[in-house]
Structure 1
Amino acid sequence: MSYVANVTGFILRGSIITLQLYAVTIIFSIPLGMLCALGKISKFKWVNKLIGIYTWVFRGTPLLLQLFFTYYGLSVFGIKLGRFQAAAITFILNYAAYFTEIFRAGIESIDKGQYEAAKALGMNYRQTMSRIILPQAIKRVLPPTSNEAITLIKDTALVAAIGMGDILRAAKEVLTRDFKVTSFIIAGIIYLLLTSIVVMIFKKLEQKYAIYE
């Protein structure tokens, strides 16, 4: 038991990086995705095209490749980033691209008659979006957003490829040292616990926004 406790403690120290990266990505990618979604449905065609190219690139290429480009590739152009900085920028831009399409689909799923009704009540565009459209859209996008939030926990393991000491890297170090798979089992349990917490949070949010259906 002492061995398991020691290994668990070591891996949990690696979880600090995982949780920090997760928090930064969620905090910045969701608002960025929302802004881009609003931009993509705006009347300005150049904004639509620019955001379209952005989502096409980041959704169409592997996250690991993007991570390598940010950390290793940008240094060729004289832009040197720390490991955490590179990972944070990459994950934020990647997940914001997915959130953009999720939020865009949610907003466009709202019946057009509600825009007309809001206009008849004298509401401007900002009031219509904030009071009528977005609350309903949030309810509809919660399930796919939850899926992305769960996937993010697992994707953070990719940072081990650039030498960051996350959960997976800590587990691999123990395996290399002791030649026991115990570390991988513990890491798997930690990932399962983290994803379970995310699922519980989104279930609470779905219950909260159920009034908009």
Structure 2
Amino acid sequence: MSIDLVWQYLCSPAFFQGAVMTLLLTLCSLFFGVVMGLILALLQESRFRAGPALAFVYLWLFRGTPVLFQIIFVYNVLPTFGLRFSAFTCAVLALSLNEGAYMAEILRSGLQAVRSGQRTAGMALGMTGGQIMRKVVLPQAARIVLPPMGNQMISMLKSSALVSVIAVQELLLVANQTASASFRYFEALCAAGIYYLVLTSLFMVFQAWLERALDPKKRRKPAGSLTDRLIRAARQPAPR
């Protein structure tokens, strides 16, 4: 093993651009996957029969087939129907559709975890259904679904390596091409592994920060702060 060669790969523009492409694929797919998952979760909670039926078909289809199959299908089959996209767009589309199926179950469990009595209380206060969902249900559901969504973020980062089959220049494809040219697979794959570990570590730090930001107990100011002392002083009766 050559440490200098690993460091050379880490600092090379090709590996850096591959890591940026991997990160971009992950973030785009997560964003559209969460949007799709929220729509499906709301469809499952819909009072209309067509909503749960459509959501069930979607989940059955995309959870029942491998993500690699979906990537190849989108890239090779859609052009036969006149739908031609770039390799990057096909990768984001396939990953987003797959991610939406799993995000739907995570978000649905979070929505169902909020007690129905809080919705009733919101209606008693004169809030509309949209206001109840936006101000009462979603803030509480967000704290519940954040840990499993964090796991999906890391899983999506690793699943993005599958798009190398459609020649998207992501991190693993760059490492494989570099190793094929020099036959130094160990050093090239070590460099790619370090990039993956750095990206997953950043996601874990971001998840921990977000959990702390959404937790009202952790956001609460210490009892001995200046604000608390001023409040206690204001509540004391004035001297006669």
Q: State the TM bucket, normalised to the shorter chain.
A: over 0.9
Q: Does residue 80 of structure 2 align to residue 76 of structure 1? A: yes
In structure 1, what residue type is equivalent to 2:130?
R
RMSD: 1.6
Q: Is the 8 A contact 2:5 2:187 kept in 1?
A: no
Q: Does residue 206 of structure 2 align to residue 204 of structure 1? A: no
Could you say which structure has the larger radius of gyration? 2
| 2:229 paired residue number | none
Deviation, structure 1 residue 134: 0.8
In structure 2, what residue type is equivalent to 1:3?
L
Q: Is the 8 A contact 2:171 2:192 kept in 1?
A: yes
Unaligned runs of 5+ in 2: 219-240
After alignment, is 142-151 or 19-28 more displaced? Answer: 19-28
The structure 2 residue matched to 1:36, chosen from 25, 35, 40, is 40
Deviation, structure 1 residue 212: 7.8
In structure 2, what residue type is equivalent to 1:14?
G
Q: Is the 8 A contact 1:136 1:212 kept in 2?
A: no
| 1:61 paired residue number | 65
Deviations 1:1-58 (A, max 9, x none): 6533432213122122212211211222212221221121011110111121112211
Q: Does residue 187 of structure 2 align to residue 182 of structure 1? A: yes
| 2:177 paired residue number | 173
For residues 192 and 77 of structure 2, what CA distance do their matches in structure 1 show?
A: 30
Secondary structure class of the residue paired with 1:42? coil
In structure 2, what residue type is equivalent to 1:194?
L
Instruction: Summarize the alignment of residues 99-110 of structure 1 with structure 2, pairs less than 5 Å apart.
Output: 99-110=103-114
Deviations 1:82-119 (A, max 9, x none): 21111011111111111111101110111111111112
Instruction: Summarize the alignment of residues 1-213 of structure 1 with structure 2, pairs less than 5 Å apart.
Output: 3-8=5-10, 9=12, 10-180=14-184, 181-211=186-216
Q: Is the 8 A contact 2:114 2:140 kept in 1?
A: yes
TM-score calculated relative to the size of structure 1: 0.94
After alignment, is 180-189 or 2-11 more displaced? Answer: 2-11
Q: Which runs of 4+ in 1 moved over 4 A?
A: none
Q: Is the 8 A contact 1:87 1:159 kept in 2?
A: yes
Secondary structure class of the residue paired with 2:85? coil
Q: Is the 8 A contact 1:135 1:212 kept in 2?
A: no
In structure 2, what residue type is equivalent to 1:205?
L
| Identical aligned residues as a percent | 34
TM-score calculated relative to the size of structure 2: 0.84
